[in-house]
């Protein structure tokens, strides 16, 4: 059967308009913008931000669980999930619908070049040094989280956490010890202005002035540690934890708060035999970090008694209900 060229053109136009209506809006131009100091941010940087083609929006259950757990425990905060490349929503996805059932969850696109304008890093981005890295996705993520906190303040979480309790009554300026002598950059809170903003500026400046494209941690948690050494007048993380005044109000949580189960023990989250021990260790923690970049244990049966599944059922119940028999 021949296709009428006019009908074909109309179909293409309608398809294009439909796609455009489902494209995520640029966070800088959207009507609903992040509220400075009252927003939690997540980043998705797996896509190629230099490619003009759009990506299809897709969350695994454990990524969506991170987002829902933040929204569930922070009713007074907005939760913005920012995508580093143009992204289009699927027409129907139970997991995405589950997280968007929270009124405080927003999905947006962030254009790195536009987002960097008016910041200390604007001219450096144009030099393209960032894009010569073998760890490009990690470095884009490291940079964008700093730009977000510089622009808006608030809280940044990696998308492999599960939030267990609220930060709403905590100091707006915080980070956490990851292991003995180091500070992690998976969880960072900084205020919009004042000293918190000065610290965001300091970390951002450190990032580009001594950028090393092929050393992954240098531009991540080590950049944070270098800045905190300047702020606190010491590189001793234990002193930072014990004496907040030394760090001018930047609170450094002890290891238990965010990283009680470290990357060498991460399999304990997914093994039923460690359930009682692991859940007991986490009773005072603010969140868990599952180190998904190290290894993967997905999918898990929703009937499992593994610590992660027990925590997911409690802290991301809508995603848990939407995922079916396997938690991916």
Element spanning 315, H or E: helix 307-315
Q: What is the mean pLDDT of residues 19-28?
A: 85
* pLDDT tens figures, 56-105: 999 999 999 999 999 999 999 999 999 999 999 887 899 999 999 999 99
Q: Please state the domain extents for the chain.
A: 21-254
- Residue position matching structure tokens 């209900």: 321
* pLDDT tens figures, 290-313: 998 776 778 999 999 999 999 999
* pLDDT tens figures, 176-233: 999 888 999 999 999 999 999 999 999 999 999 999 988 878 888 899 999 999 999 9
Q: What is the mean pLDDT of residues 24-38?
A: 96
Q: What confidence score (pLDDT) does residue 290 get? A: 96
Q: Count CA atoms closer than 13 A to 10's CA, side-chain side.
A: 5
Assigned token pair, 328: 């991916």
pLDDT at position 11 over 60? no
Query: What gap in Å lies between CA 66 and CA 157, rounded to an integer?
Result: 9
Query: What gap in Å lies between CA 193 and CA 207, rounded to an integer?
Result: 20
- CATH number, domain 21-254, options 3.90.550, 3.30.870, 3.40.720, 3.40.50: 3.90.550
* pLDDT tens figures, 240-264: 999 989 999 999 999 999 999 999 9
* pLDDT tens figures, 115-151: 999 999 999 999 999 998 888 989 999 999 999 999 9
What pTM value is reported for the model?
0.93
């Amino acid at each position: 059967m021949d296709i009428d060229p006019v009908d074909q053109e109309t179909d293409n136009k309608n398809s294009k308009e439909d796609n455009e209506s489902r494209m995520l809006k640029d966070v800088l131009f959207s009507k609903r913008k992040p509220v400075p100091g009252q927003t939690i941010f997540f980043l998705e940087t797996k896509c190629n931000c230099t490619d003009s083609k759009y990506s299809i929006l897709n969350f695994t259950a454990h990524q969506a669980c991170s987002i829902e757990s933040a929204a569930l425990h922070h009713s007074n905060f907005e939760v913005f999930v920012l995508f580093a490349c143009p992204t289009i929503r699927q027409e129907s996805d139970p997991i995405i619908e589950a997280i968007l059932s929270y009124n405080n969850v927003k999905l947006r696109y962030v254009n790195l070049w536009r987002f960097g304008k008016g910041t200390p890093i604007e001219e450096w981005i144009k030099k393209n040094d960032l894009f010569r890295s073998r760890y490009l996705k990690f470095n884009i993520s490291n940079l964008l989280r700093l730009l977000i906190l510089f622009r808006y303040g608030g809280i940044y979480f990696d998308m492999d956490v599960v939030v267990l309790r609220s930060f709403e009554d905590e100091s707006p300026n915080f980070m956490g010890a990851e292991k003995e002598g180091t500070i992690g950059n998976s969880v960072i809170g900084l205020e919009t202005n004042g000293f918190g903003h000065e610290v965001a500026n300091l970390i951002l400046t450190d990032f580009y002035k001594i950028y090393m494209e092929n050393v992954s941690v240098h531009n991540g948690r080590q950049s944070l540690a270098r800045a905190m050494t300047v702020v606190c007048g010491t590189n001793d993380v234990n002193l930072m934890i014990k004496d907040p005044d030394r760090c001018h109000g930047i609170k450094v949580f002890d290891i238990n708060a965010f990283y009680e189960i470290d990357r060498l023990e991460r399999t304990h989250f997914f093994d039923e035999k460690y359930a009682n021990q692991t859940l007991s260790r986490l009773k005072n923690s603010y969140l868990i970090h599952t180190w998904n970049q190290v290894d993967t244990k997905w999918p898990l049966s929703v009937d499992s008694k593994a610590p992660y599944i027990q925590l997911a059922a409690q802290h991301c119940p809508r995603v848990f209900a939407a995922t079916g028999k396997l938690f991916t």
